[in-house]
Amino acid sequence: MKPGDPIAVLDSGLGGLTVVNALRRVLPAEDLIYFGDTAHLPYGNKSPAAVCRFVRQIVQFLEPMNPKHLVMACNTATALAMPTIAAEFPGLSISGVIEPGARAAVAAAGARRLPAIGVIATEATVRSKAYERAIFQRRNLAQVMLRPTPLLVPMIEEGRTGDDPLVETALRQYLQSMILRKVDVLVLGCTHYPLLKGAIAKVIGPKVRLIDSAEQCAQDVARRLERKGLLRGPVSSQAEPIGSPDDTAAMDESPSATGTLRTFVTDDPERFAMLASRFLEMEIERPTLVKPLMPDVSAPVVLRAAG
């Protein structure tokens, strides 16, 4: 691995682009490769075996591009596939979004004796209990409340925004129990959710600290690469330390990245390119379409660029 090698980011669809956006702010000189498995989204209602299979295929596709680090920019993939994939690809540096988010949540809880930490995520992430384990490893005296929010990802993927009445209704229903229990911190446990951060903050109230898993993930990647001497350029001054008072500070300015971005998808590249501007605050070129080839039911699926 060399400093000039790219950082690879994978997700089930568009949500991981919030991590790409954060990486472009924190590490503007880095070349990025993004893989959105749009043919199989959402991962949140898939079995662990299926998610592992999808992620394995993506990693096999990305490995020849020599990424110096791979980010699982999907909470579901991190929760269900990370241990398996890390064991199967021991030479590849891999990180996810759950550990940075949990660490930031504990830091944000501060010195409260028994803080109430809420997590909203996909059904699969909630079932995995990955956030509970990660939080309790850092602080065993805490109340952790997890709430599956299965409608949010499809609504975001179809282009709905925080001022959409359906989105507002869903958020009020999903967050009602956390409002009643007066959570101190709320983790946005899916990389799609930062696009609804303003609407979530409005519903949950100004006293609740929101933790953006995408931003925390980008900061975590920067620290990892810096420790290994693999940074291509300096860390941007826009990067905020984990647990800082203003988690949104690094997201307030438009990105000024100079590194390149290559994108790959498994379905509907035109739609992906159209919606990606919401996540990246910029237009992108049409992604490369990658199709799975299945010679027979017993053979492994191989991902190859179409055309």
CATH number of 7-96+214-305: 3.40.50.1860
Is residue 52 annotated as part of the catalytic site, yes or no?
no
The number of beta carbons lying within 10 Å of the beta carbon of residue 78 is 30
Range in 34-43, 46-55, 209-218, 235-244 with the lowest mean pLDDT = 235-244
Each residue's pLDDT tens digit, 168-193? 999 999 999 999 999 999 999 999 99
Contact criterion met (CB below 8 Å) for 18 and 191: yes
pLDDT above 70: percentage of residues in the chain:
88
**Distance in angstroms (rounded) separating the CA atoms of residues 236 and 222:** 10
Residue showing tokens 């919401």: 278
Residue from 160, 217, 253 nearest 18 by CA: 217
Range in 1-10, 56-65, 117-126, 151-160 with the lowest mean pLDDT = 151-160
Q: Do domains 7-96+214-305 and 98-213 have the same CATH topology?
A: yes
CATH architecture under which domain 98-213 falls: 3-Layer(aba) Sandwich (3.40)
Report the predicted TM-score, pTM, of the whole model to 2 decimal places: 0.85
The number of beta carbons lying within 10 Å of the beta carbon of residue 142 is 20
**Distance in angstroms (rounded) separating the CA atoms of residues 10 and 19:** 10
Tokens of 57: 């295929």
Task: Considering the candidates 190, 221, 265, 289, report the single residue annotated as catalytic.
Answer: 190
Each residue's pLDDT tens digit, 91-124? 999 999 999 999 999 999 998 889 999 999 989 8
Task: Considering the candidates 74, 185, 196, 204, report the single residue annotated as catalytic.
Answer: 74
Confidence band (pLDDT; 50, 70, 90) for 250? very low
**Domain range list for the chain:** 7-96+214-305, 98-213
